[in-house]
Amino acid sequence: MQSIGDWVIFRQPRASGGSLAYFATGLVREILEDATMPGHYYAYIENFLPFDVAVPWFANDRYAERTLREMPSRAQVGIYLRGRSVRALGDDDFFAIIEAGFEEAWNEDVLTIDEIASPLLHRSLIDTTIFHRERAILTRLTNRVIRDRSFRRAVCTAYENRCAITGLQIFDRKGGAEVQAAHILPVANDGPDIISNGIALSSTVHWMFDRHLISIGEDHRILVDHEAVPKVIQSYLASLSGMVYLPKYSQYWPSEKFLSIHRRIFFSGNLRDSY
């Protein structure tokens, strides 16, 4: 219960085929006991944010967690971790992992002037006091501009910068992708910044998706409002496969939980159909 209101870091365990790397952070909103399994609990997370890069738990002959570093021998680490999937993490280790996970975001070369003017962590803060450095990191974790950028990068990478509806993959002369990351369940409705709540879409398609003029079926078939969507776009969509282009890895596919909410609003309109 002591973690309520505090930030936590998520790690992939080897038991589930993970790489033992830290991959995300989030704020514990509340912890509730499982009514069907005494002694088991659910932690409800807000501000969940996947890292830009996975952070190894052991690198350069060093564990990321102090408790593990202080073990008399590495042979004892595995024994210690049994039954300790949830454990305390010191502030120094927490901030070190966070900085490594969002390494690109700390580089002011990739920030806009407006973002640098915000109380965000960038290179110049590395030499400031620990208090200001830690405060800047926590501000970054809840900053909407940076969270949107991290979400966009993760979603567009998963879809290989290809629009899931049209299949178009367009880049400018500098290599910038035209595709955008759309939330399936909007942030305003408590939609999380996770890849399975996102889908890569071209700008016009993104606009239509947000306004529920198009949606995605349970079978990943494209759904279209034939009364509202212009005929020229309908004709183009009809010339395609009729199916959404999905990421290579199924764990990144759009969640049916979020899609069902989107479809509910979509079908509340007038004439609907699918391709």
Average pLDDT value for residue range 215-228: 93
| Range 104-108 contact pairs with CB under 8 angstroms and sequence separation of 24 or more | 104/52, 104/53, 105/52, 105/140, 105/146, 105/149, 105/150
Cα separation of 266 and 209, whole Å?
9
Q: What tens digit of pLDDT does each residue of 90-112 get?
A: 888 888 898 888 776 555 444 44
Up-side HSE of residue 233: CA atoms within 13 Å toward CB? Answer: 17
Q: Report pTM.
A: 0.62
- Strand, helix or coil for residue 133: helix
Contact indicator for 200, 159 with CB cutoff of 8 Å: yes
Nearest Cα neighbor of 152 from 95, 198, 214 is 198
In the chain, what's the furthest Cα-to-Cα distance? 71
pLDDT tens for each residue of 7-54: 899 988 765 455 679 988 888 888 888 888 888 888 888 778 888 788
Contact 164, 200 (CB under 8 A): yes
Domain range summary for the chain, segments of one domain joined by +: 7-150, 160-274
